[in-house]
Amino acid sequence: MVHADSSTFAQGLSKKEVYAQIRDQAEALFDGQRNWVCNLANVASLLWHGYHSLSFPSSRVNWAGFYVLDPSRPNQLILGPFQGQVACQTIGFNRGVCGAAARTGETQLIEDVDQFPGHIACDGASKSEIVVPVVQNGRVVAIIDVDCAELNGFDMDDKAALEDLAALIAKASDF
């Protein structure tokens, strides 16, 4: 049975080791379960607790979750499961870091969100951000969004690990 301990991370693990545990646990959780809400809710929890087991700056992640295609409006994202403070409900493809990832289908690794044209300041505490598209059948169906309360919160290791996780989500979930 699924157990809360799957989101307990040992202290002293490296970021790569934490991402490996997140991936392993996500894969186990997806076994026999393709409901996207359920799967993304648990992955948001894995990401949140994973980052908070790490040292600075990953420990300063202040939002981890998902936006998905808004079924009620084309070219718009709508809030999905997340952990952190209350978030913007909808984001147009033409707006901010999330919109750029959805529009281009490419990961956005932003060292300083205040330098990003059109950044949406849902939370003034967020200083850096990484947004990774979830692509299914050649179409962006969701994005992974992680914010950090420090500048330069993310690097190429985060990009590689989250792109791998996004591919797993796309393969394992029905949107």
CA 25 to chain centre: 16
Q: How many CB atoms lie within 10 A of CB 78?
A: 16
Interacting residues with its own copies between 81 and 100 (CB under 8 A): 81-90
Interacting residues with its own copies between 24 and 63 (CB under 8 A): 25, 29, 33, 35, 37-38, 41-42, 45-46, 49, 63
DSSP string, 57-108: TGGGEEEEEEEEE-TTSTTEEEEEEEEES---SEEETTSHHHHHHHHH-S-E
Which among 64-72, 95-103, 138-146, 159-167 is the span making contact with its own copies, rule CB under 8 A?
64-72
The yes or no reply on residue 80 touching its own copies (CB under 8 A) is yes
Task: Rank residues 160 and 171 by Cβ distance to its own copies and give the closer one.
Answer: 171
Task: Rank residues 104 and 171 by Cβ distance to its own copies and give the closer one.
Answer: 171
Which among 99-107, 123-131, 134-142, 158-166 is the span making contact with its own copies, rule CB under 8 A?
123-131
The yes or no reply on residue 72 touching its own copies (CB under 8 A) is yes
Going from the C-alpha of 35 to that of each of 84, 120, 147, 169, the distances in angstroms are: 22, 29, 25, 11
For residue 140, the minimal CB distance to its own copies (Å) is 17
For residue 7, the minimal CB distance to its own copies (Å) is 4
Please answer whether residues 88 and 122 qualify as being in contact, where contact means their C-beta atoms are separated by less than 8 angstroms: yes
H or E segment to which residue 53 belongs: helix 36-53
For residue 94, the minimal CB distance to its own copies (Å) is 16
How many CA atoms does the CB half-sphere of 22 hold within 13 Å? 30
Which among 10-18, 120-128, 136-144, 159-167 is the span making contact with its own copies, rule CB under 8 A?
120-128
Which residues does 148 contact at the CB level (< 8 Å), separation at least 6? Answer: 57, 58, 60, 61, 62, 126, 127, 128, 129, 154
- What are the residues binding its own copies (CB under 8 A)? 1-8, 25, 29, 33, 35, 37-38, 41-42, 45-46, 49, 63, 65, 68, 70-72, 78-90, 120, 122-125
